[in-house]
Amino acid sequence: MRKRAGPITQSGSLMSHPRIDVLTLGNAIVDVLAHTDEAFLVSKNVHKGAMQLIDEARAEELYNDMGPATIVSGGSAANTAAGIASLGVRAGFIGKVKNDETGNLFAHDLKAISVHYDVALAGDGPATARSFILVTPDGERTMNTYLGACQNLTPDDVNPATVEASAIVYLEGYLWDPPAAKEAFRKAVTIAHGAGNKVALTLSDSFCVDRYRDEFLGLMRDGSLDILFANIHELQSLFQTSDASTALAALRDEKVLGVVTRSEQGALVVSRGETLAVPAYPVAKVVDTTGAGDLFAAGFMAGLARDLSLTDCARLGGLAAAEVISHLGARPQASLLDLARQEGLLS
């Protein structure tokens, strides 16, 4: 018998959790991507550029009719964790898959890039979530998501030690869709703030904001959030305005650090004191915008973890987004750390 009571970390405390810079919480999804044309979107009656939830029958119909598929792990918050890891920053992820072929791919892909992932794979219940992503020639992606096993994420899947060990906890708005997940979300917020950590939220999608506007505004106003990520359309949806400047002015009055992306127009970092505008990185050819927002958030938060200025955080976000939209799939294919070093943003 070994005599030691438990693992001893460098700081000497018993049973302490390895430090994580950014822990992300979201729907654990594997993407099934195919190039398509505008006519196919029309024939399938899908809303271009949006994320729509679908059931199993619809998933089967879409898959049968769509083009040759490329399969890559996805999920908004998981993509963000992957981006953070690719920048050499410690990342973790909380989300639910089933112990099936697809779920094992998802878990493999996190392990392969050293993203901390301690959620148990479901032994039964619905299959691992898939998003059928249709990419049009302009590079725009339209997502059709079967949530499957994501429906079974519960507060029990949130390990308090993991949340306590994480300097930033990042949550995706999509988590409001599966019924039990928002309780996991709230548990993570409570633990994070109890430990003095920061909480960030991404609004995810304009239609998602439509579904949960009051709750998202409530989270921002009851002190649950420290940082809000949104693209300009989501922000306009949140404040119910067709005018971008009105939405930005409204954001300026909230008690959060706002990070707003505007595609090729770059990003704005909005606080009460100032608004910083940071240009987008040039991209030779936009192949697939899937993951652009996820990777922007990854770069921004990795920058925070490395104590960069807010402007450089946004630059790092833009750099990460530029890499991911230059190929099919929402996870980095190049080392983002190498790219950031070439740009002089990280050492």
Q: For binding to a second copy (CB under 8 A), which residues are involved?
A: 34-35, 63-64, 66-73, 82, 101-102, 105, 108-109, 112-113, 284, 287, 327-329, 331, 333-334
| 8 Å CB contact between 297 and 317 | yes
| 8 Å CB contact between 79 and 294 | yes
User: Which residue's CB is nearer to a second copy, number 241 or number 326?
Assistant: 326
CA 184 to CA 239: how far, in whole Å?
26
User: Which residue's CB is nearer to a second copy, number 37 or number 243?
Assistant: 37
| 8 Å CB contact between 267 and 292 | no
The pair of structure tokens assigned to 80 is 């963000």
| 8 Å CB contact between 100 and 127 | yes
Give residues with Cβ within 8 angstroms of 102, minimum separation 6: 30, 127, 128, 130
CA 339 to CA 327: how far, in whole Å?
15
| 8 Å CB contact between 284 and 321 | no
User: Which residue's CB is nearer to a second copy, number 12 or number 282?
Assistant: 282
* Minimum distance from residue 71 beta carbon to a second copy (Å): 4
Residues 295, 300, 85, 108: is their CA dihedral positive or negative? Answer: negative
User: Which residue's CB is nearer to a second copy, number 81 or number 257?
Assistant: 81
**Residue 108 CA to chain centroid, in angstroms?**
18
Look at residues 117, 118, 131, 126 and name the one whose alpha carbon lies nearest to residue 149.
Answer: 126
User: Which residue's CB is nearer to a second copy, number 129 or number 270?
Assistant: 129
Q: Classify 139 as helix, strand or coil.
A: coil
* Minimum distance from residue 331 beta carbon to a second copy (Å): 6
* Minimum distance from residue 277 beta carbon to a second copy (Å): 31
* Minimum distance from residue 67 beta carbon to a second copy (Å): 5
User: Which residue's CB is nearer to a second copy, number 111 or number 272?
Assistant: 111
C-alpha distances out from residue 289 to 235, 276, 283, 300, Å: 19, 24, 11, 18
User: Which residue's CB is nearer to a second copy, number 269 or number 324?
Assistant: 324
CA 23 to CA 269: how far, in whole Å?
21
* Minimum distance from residue 158 beta carbon to a second copy (Å): 24
* Minimum distance from residue 62 beta carbon to a second copy (Å): 12
* Minimum distance from residue 64 beta carbon to a second copy (Å): 8
* Minimum distance from residue 128 beta carbon to a second copy (Å): 11
User: Which residue's CB is nearer to a second copy, number 3 or number 285?
Assistant: 285
E strand or H helix that includes residue 10: none
